[in-house]
Structure formats: structure tokens, C-alpha cells
Chains A and B, each alone.
Chain A
Amino acid sequence: MQTFSIRSFSTPFDAAATRASIRAFLSEHQPPGRADDRCNSWAVPDKAFSQALARAGYVGMVWPKKYGGGEKHPLERYVVLEELLAAGAPVGMHWIADRQGGPLLLRYGTKEQCEHFMPAMARAELFTCIGMSEPGSGSDLASVRTRGKRDKNGWVINGQKVWTTNAHNAHYMIALVRTVEGSERQEGLTQFLIDLSLPGVTVRPIIDLVGGHDFNEVFLEDVIVPDDMRVGEEGHGWKQVTAELSLERSGPERYLSSLALLLEFIRVNSKSPSSQSKSLIGKLTAELWTLRQMSMSTAAKLADGEDPALEAAIVKDLGNSFEQELPRVLQASADCDLSSDTDFARALALLLQVSPSFSLRGGTREILRGIIARGLGLR
């Protein structure tokens, strides 16, 4: 029995040169900030930074050139992403379009959709959000009730999405909609690109516990969506949303969200560290190093055209547990005035509060462990 086999991360390009380029870009373009600004940075939107990245060819890197992409190797994109996240760069604005929007269109969209949307995504001028959760539909995604009815103009869509990250900045929402009346569960679902400026669309902010605005509610009232905004075949929505989960779950964003805090901890211990601090740094480094091996290995399998769904679920759950546990462990290791204005205290205070979301977003811990259990033959 072996649930996780490692694949070596050997690249047909010079990884060190790729790193040198993106680091040079970052030293010029990364906005100045403090450690707390560098935490969880894939949730931090910055349009100007995303557009600078796009101009340098770092958005839509693997997409075909005819759709505005760079036709780079998927592992080159991986290297760039981990560099951006390790530096704590604000990549939230284009993240979803780059990770999910473009790949979805490439796989299931029409030629016209690819031509229309992808070049603008690759320029970081068009942003997307994902409309999956609903008030009655969280982990139980197959219970979505937002419905679409065929009409002479296309589709009339009614319903409500919630926890829609970045909907207030995005131009389009990739929405999962029930298009077959009376259909149950995974059947009868279809994906649409919904223009958020259409009549009948209302986006309302949901302010999170630290006062941040990432989430939104999106209300859809008799929104008329033309049929050419349907992505993929009618009724294939479930298959489409689950097909790309490995890509979403095993990336470096699943274990690096708290790296900025670990780096601050190393910094504050640079002079006369206690034996306990040294051990703690060693232990956390060992965990991070291992997660990086696992994430890279999964990326290598994806690049080889495999779908390592079980491995991806393992990477996400272990990675989330690590990035969530890190602030708690550091809080316990030494007394810290969380109201003080030091980089360490600010980053620690922020992560202690926002890290519970790490094991909620993109599949809860319980759902992931259920997937792993199924992979083990337990259910």
C-alpha cells in the first residue's frame, strides 16, 4: 500500500533562470508593505500589480499564444507562482482567471469564447470570480438551486450565490446553475459566464471578521444570459467543476499562506535564539520542505497529463493544517503583545484570525478527508 508516490520535479527549462527573472521583476514592482500585507497574499487584490505582471508575461503563462498566452511549460508557471507567493506579492486580482477561468475555457469553451475572454484575462484587464456556494449550498455543492430557464434570448437566470470572492472587482462570474427543472444533485447543472454588469445582477459585500472585503453575495434576478455565454455542454456542469480540482488543490497557495510569519519569526530570532526557538524553526522548516516536495510532485504529475486527485486532496489538507497551525504554534512559543506595532505581532494577529478560513476555502477539511477516505476504499 502506498498512497503517495513522488515524481521528480525535473524541468525542461532553466528553473534558476526563471526564478532570477521573477525575482528581478518583484524587486522592481512589488509594492512596499509590512509582513501582514505579505500573508495570504493570493487573497490580496492589486490591479496595477496584476497588470504589470501581465505585461511581463506572467499571467496566462501556459495558454496558447493565439489566446494571449505564453505557451510556457506548466512547471514554469508553478515556479513563478511559488516565487510570487513566497515573496507575499498581491496576486489576488487575477488569480482566479489565471488558475480557473482560462483553463476552464480552454478545456470546455468555444473558440469564440477563448478568443473573446482569454487575451483580456492574460492582460489582467478582465477578472473572473467563481459562483458556486449558495445560502443553502456550502460543502454540499450538488444542492445548488440557482436556476436557468431557456428563453428566446438565451437563458433567464434566477438565484443567489454567496461567499463569492472578489465579485466586487470581477467582470464575470463563472456560475454553476441548475438548468434542468426538477433535476437532482449532480444532474442537470450547467456552467455560465455571467457578465456582472447585466441588469438584474446585484453584488453586495460581506465583511469578514477582520473587517476585510473579499466575499460577496451575488443576487441574480431574471438575468438574461445569451446562450453563447454557456460554458461546455448543458448538464455537464458538475463534471466540469470537479475535473480541475486537482489543479486548484495542490498548488503552492495551499501551504504558503503563513510563510511571511515564519520569516518574521526567523528574523526576530536572528540574535541569540533559545534552544526551543531553534527547534521550532527546524520543525516548521521540515514540514514546509516536505509540503513543497509533495506539491511539486503533484504539479509534475499534472504536467505529465495525469489527474492525481487523491494526492491533491492530501496536499491541500496537510498544507492547510500546516499554514493554520503555524500561527498558533508561534503564539504558544513565546509571549507576544498582539497589540504592538511590530511586523511579527501584526502578522501573527492577522493570521490567528484569518487562518480558520484556510481549511474552509476550496473544499473543507472534512470534505477532503472524506475524499481521501473514499480513495482508501473506506466508503
Chain B
Amino acid sequence: MSENQQLLADTSERLFADLEVVGEPSFDQIWAQVEHMQLSGLLLPEEAGGFGGDWEDFFTVVRLAGFFGIAAPLGEAIIARYATHKSSWSSKDGLHVIAPSASGELDEKNCYTGEVRQIPWGRNAETVIVELNNCTMRLKKSDAATVEEGLNPAGEARDSFIFDSAPAEITQDKGCISSFGALLRTAQIAGALDRTLGLSIEHANDRQQFGRPIAKFQAVQQNLAILAEEAAAANSAGRAAALAAICLDDAEFEIKAAKIRANMAAGAGTTIGHQTHGAIGFTKEHRLQHFTRRLISWRSEFGGDASVAERLGCEVLEHGAENFWAHLTMRSDQIGDKCNTQ
């Protein structure tokens, strides 16, 4: 980690520790602080008033947001501002977010009729950026015919905007919004898994049964070792995908692989975290639920296991068995070369 990255990590960590979900801060409280730090400009170049960060910086920050369960769409806002800048759209104040997908269609005048679902904190947002059929569009909430509020299982706002022939701003390139969204959820899962691991270790060392801490029982130790392995896998996969996003023009392969692996880890991590905590961790009051319920939710967002795995499987099958290894190594060698030249 470079000095700048370390500084960014330390600063974010201090901020997020104050805003951690366990203290139940309101969205407005959180967002005022995030805006004060100008974190949503993380990926904008310095000349555009941003931090000049890259995807590894992004991973570092949003992983920490996952670690502290920050109840706000920080990563979504960072990606939205990045996409806005890339598309040379006008940049406006307020919250701008991305969404996983949209249904419906665009007409020849670029008017959109359809529904954008699962918009993170859509109720607080001015615009949403989403992919539709290989193009990227930006839509205003004020143009929506209906705004339906919803919540994911962790209680995070996931709203729907329904549009009836509303004007959309369009860029013809794909923009990788859903792919970057998958990288975001991977990073958050990685952070929340490390937190679940930390809480579980703490609990196992504190909780006494049969006259000793439950951490002294091999059955508990072996379970927590698995949790540590799963957290390690999610973190490694996520960070490697972030590095790929820096070094390759198209890192969709790596991001898909990382999201699948993080999804698997989220399942195992939730199970072991709760098993270790016993009934004590099953209450509303206990902080564990803030992280496990997020893990459950994030696994399904921006790419559930089945759909991402099927798409990655198709890509592998297109290359065929003969090129399987050559494909993997060609991509990683390119990343290694880029690291060398930086």
C-alpha cells in the first residue's frame, strides 16, 4: 500500500468508525460527513475536483464501509460520479447513485419507459445511472412517474423508479456500471466478513462455557478457521479484481469471478458467525446482525451466484478447454506487466 493509500485508509477508517451502523446514525448525518470529506469524488481526477484515486483506493474505502456497515450508498455515489465524468454529463449537487439493472425500453428520441429497481437510497437521490441493452443511461428521479420505496433484508433503502416516456441521457458504450457495482458489493462483503470474523473471535475468547472460553474448544477453533479462510478468499478475490480494473481495459472476467467467490464466502461467513455467537448474536440489539444481514443482502445484489456464474461459465466455454489456462495466465501476466511499469 502506498503512503497515499494508507492515508486514505486511515482517514476513512476514522470517519467510518464514528458513523458505524451500530450507533444507528441517520442517513442525513452520515451523508453530511461523507460529503464534507468529498469521498464521492474518490475516482475523479484531481483537476476535476476529485481525489484522483484508482480502483484499489475504491476497494480500500468501500471495504471499510462494509467493515463498519455504513448505512449509505457511498460506493454507488463514487461510481455514479465517475460515470458522470466519463460520459461528460453535467455534474450537479446532491446524491447520484447507480442501480443494478433496468427493464423496459428506450425510444428513438431517447425517452425511457420502464422500471429501475433496487436503487440504493433512491428516495434520497437526484439521479440514477443504469445500463440498458449495452448503453448507459442517466435518469432523473423528478422525471419518474412513480417512486416506490423498498428495503433489502438489512433494512437498506432499495427503491424503484417507474418511468413513462421520460428523457434519458445516454452514452453508447456499456460503461460497466453493473460490473463496477459487483466490485463494490464484493468489497463490502470482504469488509463485513472481516468484521464478522473479528466479532466472532472476540466473542469466542470472552464467552465462558464448561469453565473455559469457547475459543478453547477445537470444534469452535476449526469453524473459525474456515470463517477466516472464507474472509481471506473474498478479500483476495476483491482486491485482485480491483487491480485488474486498473490494469485491464475490461476487467469483467475478474470482477465476475470475485463476486462469485465473495458470494460463496458471504454464505459461509454468515453461518459460522452466528453459530459462534449462539443465541446471544441472534438479537436485534447485538451488533452482529448489522453485518450478517448485510452479507445476506449483498450476495444477491449486482450479481447473484447463479446468474454471474452462468455468464462466467459461458465465457470459459467460449474459450474452450484448450485455452482455459492460457486465458487465465494471459490476463494475469498483463496485470503483472502493468504493475511493473507503474
Given contacts A1-B197, A16-B333, A378-B224, contact A279 B237 (CB under 8 A): no
Partner of B317, one of A269, A283, A296: A269
Say how far B211's CB is from chain A's closest CB, in angstroms. 16
The answer to whether A286 touches B309, judged by C-beta atoms less than 8 angstroms apart, is: yes
| Residues of B contacting A294 in the complex (Cβ-Cβ under 8 angstroms) | 232-233, 236
Q: Give Cα A280 to B235, complex, Å.
A: 22
The answer to whether A267 touches B321, judged by C-beta atoms less than 8 angstroms apart, is: yes
Partner of B313, one of A277, A296, A368, A373: A277
Q: Give Cα A254 to B260, complex, Å.
A: 21
The answer to whether A292 touches B332, judged by C-beta atoms less than 8 angstroms apart, is: yes
Count of B residues near A, CB < 8 Å? 60
Say how far B222's CB is from chain A's closest CB, in angstroms. 5
Q: Give Cα A263 to B325, complex, Å.
A: 9
Say how far A331's CB is from chain B's closest CB, in angstroms. 18
Interface 1/0 per residue, A1-29 and B, CB below 8 Å: 11111101111100110010000000000
The answer to whether A278 touches B254, judged by C-beta atoms less than 8 angstroms apart, is: no
| Residues of A contacting B89 in the complex (Cβ-Cβ under 8 angstroms) | none
Q: Give Cα A264 to B321, complex, Å.
A: 7
Interface 1/0 per residue, A275-307 and B, CB below 8 Å: 101111111011101111110110000000000
Interface 1/0 per residue, B255-269 and A, CB below 8 Å: 011101100100000
The answer to whether A286 touches B221, judged by C-beta atoms less than 8 angstroms apart, is: no
The answer to whether B310 touches A6, judged by C-beta atoms less than 8 angstroms apart, is: no
The answer to whether B333 touches A278, judged by C-beta atoms less than 8 angstroms apart, is: no
Given contacts A8-B243, A8-B336, A275-B310, contact A289 B225 (CB under 8 A): no
The answer to whether A10 touches B336, judged by C-beta atoms less than 8 angstroms apart, is: yes
The answer to whether A263 touches B221, judged by C-beta atoms less than 8 angstroms apart, is: no
Which bucket holds chain A's interface residue count?
A: 35 or more
Interface residues of A in 18-74 (CB under 8 A from B): 19
Q: Give Cα A283 to B314, complex, Å.
A: 11
Partner of B306, one of A1, A86, A279: A279
Interface: B151 (CB within 8 A): no
| Residues of B contacting A318 in the complex (Cβ-Cβ under 8 angstroms) | 229, 232-233
Interface 1/0 per residue, A235-261 and B, CB below 8 Å: 000000000000000000000000100
| Residues of A contacting B339 in the complex (Cβ-Cβ under 8 angstroms) | 8-10
| Residues of A contacting B240 in the complex (Cβ-Cβ under 8 angstroms) | 6, 290, 293, 297
Partner of B333, one of A15, A266, A286, A369: A15
Q: Give Cα A287 to B305, complex, Å.
A: 12
Interface 1/0 per residue, B292-335 and A, CB below 8 Å: 00000000000001101111111111001100110011101101
The answer to whether B336 touches A15, judged by C-beta atoms less than 8 angstroms apart, is: yes
| Residues of B contacting A214 in the complex (Cβ-Cβ under 8 angstroms) | none
Q: Give Cα A264 to B320, complex, Å.
A: 10
The answer to whether A1 touches B198, judged by C-beta atoms less than 8 angstroms apart, is: yes
Chain B residues engaging chain A, CB cutoff 8 angstroms: 194-195, 197-198, 201, 204-205, 215-216, 218, 220-222, 224-226, 228-229, 231-233, 235-237, 239-240, 243, 254, 256-258, 260-261, 264, 305-306, 308-317, 320-321, 324-325, 328-330, 332-333, 335-337, 339-340
Could you list 14 A-B pairs, sorted by A, with CB under 8 Å?
A: A2-B194, A4-B235, A16-B330, A16-B333, A262-B324, A270-B321, A281-B313, A282-B312, A286-B312, A287-B261, A289-B257, A289-B328, A377-B201, A377-B205
